[in-house]
């Protein structure tokens, strides 16, 4: 049997972790089984529709490198792949269900439904449609339609019996029909289908073999089963993957932190890190391996390695993965990745000058193993491009050192730095070591005031390399500046 799966997002918000993981699982499942991966846009909610969300969908998929075999842009034999372009299909199918006695017209206005719900709430009854229009006389229905009274089409859900279906991950799931949402809407009054109708009709017409999606959809499966049955269709295989949660165990949402792929991208996460990490929430390969390229996942992904339990999204582990992937980049690649951030933060001219690019070349090896996210770059190397606007006195004078000795250290350091160009880095380091020893200090303590003078911070990339990139002249000037400040303070 040929495998056809789909990712069917609704363009109502930015692509987020949960959705993309579903997309990834579908994509990997298709690739690993030589099947087809289809992208279908479920744009049937015209109130929440957003063009930005649609653009974001394509951008995100492109950035992650997930391509689809059928769908927007690439076409396919089962199009169109935007549900908004298939309205006639849904209407025809909805009407067919009415003819078969499996669905009915409902003329209840939204106000009535609202009132109904409020009453049910007050009386603590279970909430749901009271099937008011389910058995309207045929003449009344025809009359109301002729009068063009707004209406929807509802599914006639059996009142008795139970619905059973099989989930590849969860096994057999049973539900009493009386516990089902009562007679859900299939076709809205604006002529658009609801998710229930559209998804069933399209999955069938598009030959979808497996529905792979998050467990939040589980409760609506019995409804779908009834729709398939009403049409006389065979349902596809279901596989409901566990959801992605926030630290508090609730469904991951904005209040947990960044959730949209766009945000992660802007913060400087690498697509390979994101893909690798997301894939491991709810899925594993074995007891130890955890580094996977997208290409490897396209080969190795299997449904039977899915976990049933929901997984908490761990931002820290993502950071760790990202750091690992940054370190795997060669200098040229990392340079290209980091340049946009330097530009955006105004550290470079646009376009960058020859001199600036040389500094960037030189600093890449200095920052590579310090970066967790690309966006951290500017804070790390700012001192190479702009003057330091303010020194904190506590930083300049190390603990257990007074202003006088600090000035002495800075003067000795300045002397050595003036001679830097004459020696190699190794020789310079040796000279510094000797000088520190001579003054009875540890190398680290000796270098600290100099580090602060040069970089403006006690935390910085390696000093000698930094000084080389900054240039002796500027370095000496900064040290002299700090010495003056200290003298005044004494």
Partner RNA sequence: GUCUCCUUCGUCUAGUGGUUAGGACACCGGGUUUUCAUCCCGGCAACAGGGGUUCGACUCCCCUAGGAGAUGCCA
| Active site (catalytic) residues | 254
**Which of 209, 460, 472, 480 contacts RNA by CB under 7 A?**
460
Among 22, 26, 44, 60, binds RNA (CB under 7 A): 44
- Each residue 78-117 as x (binds RNA by CB under 7 A) or -, in order, gives ------------------------------xxx--x---x
Contact between 67 and RNA (CB under 7 A)?
A: no
Query: Residue 281 in contact with residue 308, Cβ under 8 Å?
Result: no
* 89-97, 226-234, 414-422, 453-461 -> range binding RNA (CB under 7 A): 453-461
Question: Do 356 and 385 contact (CB within 8 A), yes or no?
Answer: yes
Task: Give min distance, CB of 461 to RNA, in A.
Answer: 6
**Please, where are the H alpha helices in 161-282?**
195-205, 221-231, 261-267, 271-279
Count of residues in contact with RNA, rule CB under 7 A: 93
Dmax (CA) of the chain: 107
Q: Is 62 a residue that touches RNA (CB under 7 A)?
A: no
Question: What count of Cα atoms within 13 Å lies in the side-chain half-sphere of residue 171?
Answer: 2
Q: Which of 257, 247, 283, 227 is nearest to 103 (CA)?
A: 227
Q: Which is nearer to RNA, 44 or 60 (CB)?
A: 44
Backbone torsion region of residue 179, taken as left when φ is above 0, otherwise alpha when ψ lies between -120 and 50, otherwise beta: alpha
Binders of RNA in range 400-419 (CB under 7 A): none
Shortest approach of RNA to residue 140 CB, angstroms? 17
481 binds RNA (CB under 7 A): no
Nearer to RNA, 157 or 448 (CB): 448
Binding of RNA by 430 (CB under 7 A):
no
Residues 155-184 that bind RNA (CB under 7 A): 170-171, 173-176, 179, 181, 184
Candidates 76, 79, 80, 311; binder of RNA (CB under 7 A) is: 311
* Parallel, antiparallel or unpaired: strands 36-39 and 4-7: parallel
Classify residue 417 as left (phi > 0), alpha (psi -120 to 50) or beta: alpha
**Site residues for RNA, window 214-233 (CB under 7 A)?**
215-220
Return all residues near 295 (Cβ < 8 A) that are at least 6 apart.
none
Please say which residue, 34 or 124, places its beta carbon nearer to RNA.
124
**Which x/- pattern over 233-272 shows residues binding RNA (rule: CB under 7 A)?**
---------xx-x--xxxx---------------------
Nearest Cα residue to 405 out of 371, 448, 366: 448
454, 478 Cβ separation under 8 angstroms: yes
360, 336, 335, 333: which is closest to 347 by C-alpha? 360
- Using CB under 7 A, pick the residue from 239, 280, 297, 410 that binds RNA: 280
Q: How many CB atoms lie within 10 A of CB 139?
A: 8
193: which DSSP letter?
B
Question: What's the closest the beta carbon of residue 122 comes to RNA, in angstroms?
Answer: 13
Per CB under 7 A, which region of 135-143, 305-313, 331-339, 350-358 contacts RNA? 305-313
For the CA atoms of 245, 251, 254, 260, what is the dihedral angle to 10 degrees? Answer: 70
Phi first, then psi, for residue 167 (nearest 5°) are: -110, 130
| Closest approach of RNA to the CB of residue 326, in Å | 10
With contacts defined by CB under 7 A, name the span among 226-234, 265-273, 353-361, 443-451 that binds RNA. Answer: 443-451
Cis upstream peptide for 351 (omega within 30°): yes
Q: Which stretch binds RNA (CB under 7 A): 88-96, 139-147, 263-271, 286-294?
A: 286-294
Interactions with RNA, residue window 3-32 (CB under 7 A): 8-10, 12
């Amino acid at each position: 049997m040929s495998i056809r799966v789909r990712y069917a997002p609704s363009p109502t918000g930015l692509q987020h972790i949960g959705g993309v993981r579903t997309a990834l699982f579908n994509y990997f499942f298709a690739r690993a089984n030589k099947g087809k991966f289809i992208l279908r846009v479920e744009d049937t909610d015209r109130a929440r529709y957003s063009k930005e969300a649609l653009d974001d969908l394509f951008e995100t998929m492109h950035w992650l490198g997930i391509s689809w075999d059928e769908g927007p842009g690439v076409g396919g034999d089962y199009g169109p792949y935007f549900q908004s372009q298939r309205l006639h299909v849904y209407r025809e199918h909805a009407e067919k269900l009415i003819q078969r006695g499996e669905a009915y017209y409902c003329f209840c206005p939204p106000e009535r439904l609202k009132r109904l719900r409020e009453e049910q709430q007050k009386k603590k009854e279970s909430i749901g449609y009271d099937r008011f229009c389910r058995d309207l006389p045929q003449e009344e229905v025809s009359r109301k339609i002729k009068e063009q009274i707004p209406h929807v089409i509802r599914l006639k859900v059996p009142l008795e019996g139970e619905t059973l279906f099989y989930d590849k991950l969860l096994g057999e799931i049973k539900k009493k029909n009386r516990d089902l949402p009562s007679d859900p809407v299939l076709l809205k009054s604006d002529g658009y289908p609801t998710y229930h109708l559209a998804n069933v009709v399209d999955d069938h017409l598009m030959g979808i073999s497996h529905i792979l999606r998050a467990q939040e959809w589980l409760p609506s499966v019995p409804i779908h089963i009834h729709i398939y049955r009403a049409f006389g269709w065979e349902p596809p295989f279901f596989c409901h993957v566990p959801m992605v949660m926030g630290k508090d165990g609730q469904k991951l949402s904005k209040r947990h932190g960044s959730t949209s792929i766009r945000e992660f991208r802007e913060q400087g996460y690498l697509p390979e890190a994101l893909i690798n990490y997301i894939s491991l929430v709810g899925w594993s390969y074995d007891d130890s391996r955890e580094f996977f390229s997208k290409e490897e996942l396209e080969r190795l992904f299997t449904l039977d390695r899915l976990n049933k339990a929901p997984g908490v999204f761990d931002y820290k582990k993502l950071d760790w993965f990202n750091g690992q992937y940054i370190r795997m980049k060669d200098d040229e690649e990392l340079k290209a990745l980091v340049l946009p951030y330097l530009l955006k933060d105004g550290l470079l001219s646009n376009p960058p000058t020859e001199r600036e690019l040389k500094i960037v070349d030189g600093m890449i090896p200095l920052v590579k193993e310090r970066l967790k996210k690309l966006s951290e770059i500017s804070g790390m190397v700012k001192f190479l491009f702009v003057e330091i606007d303010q020194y904190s006195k506590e930083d300049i004078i190390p603990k257990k050192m007074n202003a006088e000795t600090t000035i002495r250290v800075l003067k000795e350091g300045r002397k050595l730095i003036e001679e830097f160009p004459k020696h190699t880095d190794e020789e310079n380091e040796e000279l510094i070591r000797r000088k520190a020893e001579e003054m009875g200090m540890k190398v680290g303590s000796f270098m600290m005031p100099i580090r602060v003078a040069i970089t403006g911070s006690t935390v910085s990339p390696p000093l000698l390399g930094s000084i080389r990139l900054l240039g002796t002249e500027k370095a000496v000037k900064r040290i002299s500046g700090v010495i003056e400040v200290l003298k005044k303070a004494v």
